[in-house]
Amino acid sequence: MGSPGPATSSSDGHRSPFARLAELLAPHQPGKPLIALSLGEPQHPLPAFVGPVLAKHINDFGRYPIAKGIEPFRRAAANWLEKRFALARPVDPETEVLVLNGSREGLFFAAITAARTVAPRQGRPAILMPNPFYPAYGAGAQASGCEAIYLPTTRDNGFLPDLDSLDAETLARTVAIYLASPANPQGSVASHDYCRRLVQLAQQYGFMVLADECYSEIYTREAPGSMLQAAGPDFANVVAFQSLSKRSNLPGMRVGFAAGDRKFLSAFHELRNVAAPQVPVPLQQVAVAAYSDETHVEENRRLYRLKFDLADQILGSRYGYHRPAGGFCLWLDVSAHGGDEAATVKLYKEGGVRVIPGSYLARVQADGSNPGAGYIRVAMVQDSETTAEALHRLVQTLD
């Protein structure tokens, strides 16, 4: 099968979806007290250890951090990976882990690193990504000077890129592919066989797999795996990106890590050492405590599970709802309710519920279609009582 091709150009192609949402809703006022479910910002309580650890290491704000991360952080991240995932061997904290200011800046700089370090391509270098996608992927592709190729993720392909659609010509010029599992926004999880096949393509054609796994700890059934499990003992051609934002309810702390292919991470470190923000040592110490504790993560999952129980009860089979395998978002089909923009405005004006149109999270494909059109994303980040109220309002407003 042929390549799905790049998205067509659009004046909104590189704008923040949240800036577009603000413009869409600006002429209107919420019809009821506002419930914001548009931004994927966790609202659960902070872990109890955060304050004491910060206080203990407060003086470390008085010195510059090293770019690669302090040794206790890298060791804690490596130990967590070993315990959490069935890896071929333990990750080396010295050469195979780097601290990040959350996963977003890492995903952005990784595209630039891939463009610089991957062997010369046959044709214009390209970066592949699912469509819809996290905006940092598109920004990374643009900054790296590579062509962005958007791979539609729809219900028909399980909301994961169709690897069979990638022809040899496309793969031969690919620098990297982004893959989120669990996916944002649909919550789909890539199987081990899917990951293994993608890694095999990467190793055959010499490109990088940039695995966005920031939602890996938010699930209600089986624990998602990691792309590192499919990479083999050298983790060749694979880097996984993790963050404490979702796992530990610390979106404002901006701490995460990248782990995997040591050759890539060496070049990645060199770039970040001169271009990326460093992570304050006290925040890394909080991360050491976070990656050493699972109790708060289990409680976090319990709270999300309760909210998905509410969605099961309140939504039923409306809007094509199904309980996602991972993540904390609902991906609801509102095509029968005027489309995603109209439904978003209606929910805001009449129900006081703010969501985001799915088309704002995606790009128009070469054939003119937008895989996000007709959907809204609902981030289940509020407490259970607020979530129940929002879901009831959603049904009452749309039906």
Identify the CATH number of the domain in which residue 23 sits.
3.90.1150.10
Q: Quick one: CA dihedral 322, 323, 325, 331, positive or negative?
A: positive
Query: Are residues 144 and 278 located together in one domain of the fold?
Result: yes
Alpha carbons 302 and 249: distance in angstroms, whole number: 13
Query: Are residues 163 and 262 located together in one domain of the fold?
Result: yes
Alpha carbons 161 and 100: distance in angstroms, whole number: 26
pLDDT digits (tens, 9 = 90+) for 216-232: 999 988 999 999 999 99
Q: H/E/C letters for each residue in 36-105?
A: ECCCCCCCCCCCCCHHHHHHHCHHHHHCCCCCCCCHHHHHHHHHHHHHHCCCCCCCCCCCCEEEECHHHH
Q: Quick one: CA dihedral 246, 251, 255, 258, positive or negative?
A: positive
Query: Are residues 202 and 345 located together in one domain of the fold?
Result: no
Query: Are residues 333 and 394 located together in one domain of the fold?
Result: yes
pLDDT digits (tens, 9 = 90+) for 308-355: 999 999 999 999 999 999 999 999 999 999 999 999 999 999 999 999
Compute the half-sphere exposure of residue 389: CA atoms within 13 Å on the CB side of its CA: 16
Write the DSSP string, 97-151: EEEESHHHHHHHHHHHHHHHHSPPPSSS-EEEEEES--HHHHHHHHHHTPEEEEE
Query: Are residues 131 and 182 located together in one domain of the fold?
Result: yes
Query: Are residues 327 and 373 located together in one domain of the fold?
Result: yes
Question: In the predicted model, what is the mean pLDDT of the chain?
Answer: 95
CB atoms inside a 10 Å sphere around CB 86: 10
Whether 313 maps to a domain, the answer reads yes
Whether 27 maps to a domain, the answer reads yes
Query: Are residues 186 and 283 located together in one domain of the fold?
Result: yes
Number of domains in the chain: 2
Distances (CA, A) of 273 to 109, 270, 276, 288: 11, 5, 6, 21
Distances (CA, A) of 338 to 46, 342, 373, 376, 393: 39, 5, 11, 12, 17
Whether 200 maps to a domain, the answer reads yes
Q: What is the mean pLDDT of residues 189-208?
A: 98
266, burial (CB in 10 Å: exposed 0-12, middle 13-18, buried 19+) = middle
Q: For the chain, how are helix, strand and coil distributed in percent, rounded to 5?
A: 45, 15, 40
Of 229, 261, 293, the residue that ends a domain is: 293
Q: What is the mean pLDDT of residues 111-120?
A: 96
Alpha carbons 112 and 202: distance in angstroms, whole number: 17
Query: Are residues 128 and 173 located together in one domain of the fold?
Result: yes
Main-chain phi, psi angles of 331, to 5 degrees: -120, 95
For helices 340-351 and 384-398, angle between their N-to-C axes, nearest 10 degrees: 110
> For position 216, which CATH number holds?
3.40.640.10
pLDDT digits (tens, 9 = 90+) for 44-73: 999 999 999 999 999 999 999 999 999 999
- What tokens appear for 264 in the block? 């890539």
Query: Are residues 227 and 318 located together in one domain of the fold?
Result: no
In the chain the first and final C-alpha atoms are separated, in Å, by: 40
Task: Give me the pLDDT at residue 269, please.
Answer: 98
User: What is the percent of the chain where pLDDT is above 70?
Assistant: 97
Angle at CA 25, nearest 5°, toward 21 and 26? 110
Q: Nearest to residue 373, comparing CAs of 388, 383, 361?
A: 361
Query: Are residues 289 and 300 located together in one domain of the fold?
Result: no
191 pLDDT above the threshold of 70 = yes
The whole domain housing 171 covers 50-293
Alpha carbons 101 and 280: distance in angstroms, whole number: 9
Q: What Rg value do the Cα atoms of the chain yield, rounded?
A: 21
Query: Are residues 273 and 179 located together in one domain of the fold?
Result: yes
Whether 10 maps to a domain, the answer reads no
Query: Are residues 122 and 71 located together in one domain of the fold?
Result: yes
Whether 93 maps to a domain, the answer reads yes
Reported in sequence order, the residue ranges of the chain that DSSP labels E, i.e. its strands, are 35-36, 97-100, 126-131, 147-152, 174-180, 208-212, 238-243, 256-260, 329-333, 353-354, 356-357, 375-379
Task: Give me the pLDDT at residue 220, please.
Answer: 86
Task: Give me the pLDDT at residue 14, please.
Answer: 72
pTM score, whole prediction:
0.95
Whether 2 maps to a domain, the answer reads no
373, burial (CB in 10 Å: exposed 0-12, middle 13-18, buried 19+) = middle
Whether 3 maps to a domain, the answer reads no
Alpha carbons 104 and 176: distance in angstroms, whole number: 16
4 pLDDT above the threshold of 80 = no
Of 293, 315, 336, the residue that ends a domain is: 293
Task: Give me the pLDDT at residue 12, please.
Answer: 53
Alpha carbons 187 and 207: distance in angstroms, whole number: 25
Per the omega criterion (within 30 degrees of 0), is the bond before 185 cis? yes
Whether 327 maps to a domain, the answer reads yes
User: What is the percent of the chain where pLDDT is above 90?
Assistant: 95
Of 293, 327, 354, the residue that ends a domain is: 293
Alpha carbons 138 and 192: distance in angstroms, whole number: 26
